[in-house]
Structure 1
Amino acid sequence: MVLGGTGYVGRHVCEAFAGLGHDVLAVGRDPTKAAPGVPFAALGQPEELYDLLPAAGPQVVVNAAGGVWEVSDEEMVGANVSLVEHLLAATGRLGDRPRLVHLGSAHEYGATPHGAGTSESVPTRPLTAYGRAKLRATRLVCDAFDSGQLDGTVLRLSNVLGPTAPRTSLLGAVVARLREAEESGRPAVLTLNAPRAYRDFVDARDVTAAVVAAAAGPARPASRPAPRVVNVGGGDPVPVRLVMERLIDISGAPAEIVEQAPAELTRDNGDWQQLDISTARDTLGWVPRRTLAQSLVWAWEAGRPRPLPAHRARAGFERESSPLRHSPQDEEGH
């Protein structure tokens, strides 16, 4: 069962499990957004989980639900905290309780020193309503793990790259404006609100691989306790401006980048974000496989009426020539 199974990340998770031959139930609000061939169950209010969970009887629940972009603080708490409260209460009533994979966020950490990688042991000091709501949900889930109510893992995701990103996200907004520019021939104006910001990016396909691994349980010696929280990211800091420039190059659309300092904090974590992903490697056997270039080409190509020209896909975007190439154990992929 995938809560938020019709959302940006949740849909990719559903497709990954279905592709491996598992029975999958996408839980959400809009059946038209469910992945093809994946059964759908409507969830209008969190209280409906008390009936839905025993009826479905899932072995694994992936919580990919949660308000992220441009919602009120109250809606943020409802989508990220209230849902988890009802989920935990509903699973507590089950005889056979499912394994829970809860998708958290790197924004739970808050600002980190420039040049420093962020491990799971770093103190959490989120700067925004989004980060605070995600952290509250993570703490509720970890309390349930520690009490023995449930078993599972929290995956703290960095910025996920892939097709169908919401237009209110950085990736979705840039792709949408470049498509408009491509069609109209008029240059797109892309606003960069954090000119000096570095972010950690990970491919949605790599995220789904981490979710599948977490659903199966940690690949660790029995004598070692399972980590409750695991970072999932590319493992490298990438300038946000470079991501925008890469997308412009991939699209071939006319565009200019306009730098603008933000008036207030929204989802930013300061100027630096880099996740230490060694715990995921050591306990889940997971590393990201896709390069930044592969992720951006994939995000751009999705939904195009024609294939990306071969010369554009090749020019400067092969892994061998990419300046953002990583070592084999840390190849970036969301």
Structure 2
Amino acid sequence: MRILVLGSSGFLGSHVTERLGATEGVRTLIGARSPGADLVVDLATARAGRLAEALAALSPDAVVNCAGAVGGDPVTLAEVNARGAAVLCAALREAAPRARLVHLGSAAEYGPGRAGETVTEEAPTRPVAPYGATKLAGTVAVTSSGLDAVVLRVGNPVGPGAPEAGLPGGLARRLHRAGGDTAEVVRLGDLSAYRDFVDVRDVARAAVLAATRPEPVPPVLNVGGGRAVRVRELVRTLVRTAGFAGRIEEAGGGSARSAAVGWQCSDITAARRALGWEPRLGLEDSLAALWASVAGGPPGRAGRAGAGGAVAAPGGGAVR
């Protein structure tokens, strides 16, 4: 089975690629912007006709689209998350109409959840910012394409290689730089929100299951941890894991996008039924692996970009 991974060098894409490489009977094809890939492409600027020619030459049985933008201005987000998905669908309809498309969406498409409740795939979509809105536009492009396609609405992915731009990856690197300095003070934004964290390796496993399953798959599936965790708990767990001896100060503020969503939790029943999937790794496992990936390299080492939901980050940034 020939499976093409787009965005293969990103946070989620690299884990999907690794998982496929360990899957028997699969030949993994690499799609990225860098030279040397099986398909050199930037979906933000790609033209459907030329992309179709390249896809026809590769003849994939399935495509996993991990390409996406998590930050930047609304135009950049729209070019990658919305236009990119639409161009990919148009090219696949022409070049490989029978190939299965697995597209990584985001729980941010749902918008604010109601405290204590989980959201199913049938819940209304009410994104509160350009990121969620452009991811939703990408989902609509995929689900209305007529292709054999499924959108995995990913929660907040965390684990080894988490990007520095987001809270878990950024905080891990700040704690690493601090070392054993007991006078170090790390100031963060408001940590009172609840998020559905899911290990990036569990997300990769879901993507592979969706790409290789011979039976039809529902058009949208939630892929999350299945429980809401207060962001403050994530910070405390990572601090313990790192053995940080300094002080954490919660200064308030943070990104407006994250502040608008106080609760986020996905119902993952449908993914369990359709794919036989459920998360295997808990938050402590994810943060231990994240810390090992950071502490094993030089301080301040940058992480890789990825895809998923939004959460307040140091300095007002966000992680999907």
Report the TM-score, using the length of structure 2 for normalisation. 0.84
* 1:180 has 2:177 as partner: yes
Corresponding residue of 1:285: 276
CA distance in 2, matches of 1:40, 1:248: 41
- Stretch of structure 1 that moved more, 198-207 or 268-277: 268-277
CA distance in 2, matches of 1:61, 1:287: 22
Q: What's the offset of the Cα at 1:150? A: 1.0
Corresponding residue of 1:170: 167
Q: What's the offset of the Cα at 1:298? A: 0.6
| Residues 289-333 of structure 1 deviation map (CA, whole Å, 9 limit, x = unaligned) | 111111110111015349xxxxxxxxxxxxxxxxxxxxxxxxxxx
Alignment of 1:1-334 (within 5 A): 1-21=4-24, 22-30=26-34, 40-44=38-42, 45-47=45-47, 48-69=50-71, 71-94=72-95, 97-144=98-145, 149-182=146-179, 187-193=184-190, 195-217=191-213, 226-262=217-253, 265-267=256-258, 270-305=261-296
Query: Counterpart of 1:46 in 2: which secondary structure?
Result: coil
Q: What's the offset of the Cα at 1:172? A: 1.3
CA distance in 2, matches of 1:204, 1:52: 29
Query: Counterpart of 1:114 in 2: which secondary structure?
Result: coil
CA distance in 2, matches of 1:216, 1:268: 38
Q: Which amino acid in the other structure matches residue 231 of structure 1?
A: N
* Larger RCO (alpha carbons 8 Å, 6+ apart): 2
Q: 1:7 to 1:183 in 2, by over 3 A?
A: farther
Corresponding residue of 1:317: none
Q: What's the offset of the Cα at 1:266? A: 2.7
Q: 1:31 to 1:184 in 2, by over 3 A?
A: farther
Aligned residues: 290
Query: Counterpart of 1:168 in 2: which secondary structure?
Result: coil
Query: Counterpart of 2:63 in 1: which secondary structure?
Result: strand
CA distance in 2, matches of 1:96, 1:142: 14
Q: 1:291 to 1:218 in 2, by over 3 A?
A: farther
Q: Which amino acid in the other structure matches residue 68 of structure 2?
A: G
Query: Counterpart of 1:302 in 2: which secondary structure?
Result: helix
Q: 1:40 to 1:255 in 2, by over 3 A?
A: farther
How well do the aligned residues superpose, as a CA RMSD in angstroms?
2.2
For structure 1, the 5+ residue unaligned runs are: 33-38, 220-224, 307-333
CA distance in 2, matches of 1:30, 1:190: 36
CA distance in 2, matches of 1:217, 1:269: 37
Q: Which amino acid in the other structure matches residue 238 of structure 2?
A: L
CA distance in 2, matches of 1:141, 1:93: 14
Confirm or deny: 8 A CA contact 2:195 2:263 kept in the other structure. yes
Q: What's the offset of the Cα at 1:234? A: 0.5
- Stretch of structure 1 that moved more, 4-13 or 245-254: 245-254
- Stretch of structure 1 that moved more, 96-105 or 199-208: 96-105
Q: 1:11 to 1:31 in 2, by over 3 A?
A: farther
CA distance in 1, matches of 2:136, 2:165: 22
Q: What's the offset of the Cα at 1:262? A: 2.9
Q: What's the offset of the Cα at 1:92? A: 1.4
Confirm or deny: 8 A CA contact 1:64 1:103 kept in the other structure. yes
| Residues 192-225 of structure 1 deviation map (CA, whole Å, 9 limit, x = unaligned) | 33x3201000011111111111112376xxxxx8
Query: Counterpart of 1:25 in 2: which secondary structure?
Result: strand
* Percent of residue pairs identical: 38
Q: Which amino acid in the other structure matches residue 243 of structure 1?
A: L
Q: 1:26 to 1:4 in 2, by over 3 A?
A: same
Confirm or deny: 8 A CA contact 2:161 2:290 kept in the other structure. yes
Q: What's the offset of the Cα at 1:56? A: 1.2
For structure 2, the 5+ residue unaligned runs are: 298-319
Q: What's the offset of the Cα at 1:249? A: 0.6
Q: Which amino acid in the other structure matches residue 19 of structure 2?
A: A
Q: What's the offset of the Cα at 1:29? A: 2.0
CA distance in 2, matches of 1:59, 1:88: 14
| Residues 57-96 of structure 1 deviation map (CA, whole Å, 9 limit, x = unaligned) | 1111011111003x11100000101111110111111255
Confirm or deny: 8 A CA contact 1:29 1:43 kept in the other structure. yes
Q: Which amino acid in the other structure matches residue 274 of structure 2?
A: T
Q: What's the offset of the Cα at 1:23? A: 1.2
Q: 1:267 to 1:137 in 2, by over 3 A?
A: farther
Confirm or deny: 8 A CA contact 1:108 1:132 kept in the other structure. yes
CA distance in 2, matches of 1:59, 1:29: 21
| Residues 22-69 of structure 1 deviation map (CA, whole Å, 9 limit, x = unaligned) | 21122122469xxxxxx5532143225233211211111011111003
Q: 1:263 to 1:183 in 2, by over 3 A?
A: closer
CA distance in 1, matches of 2:214, 2:181: 50
CA distance in 2, matches of 1:90, 1:296: 38
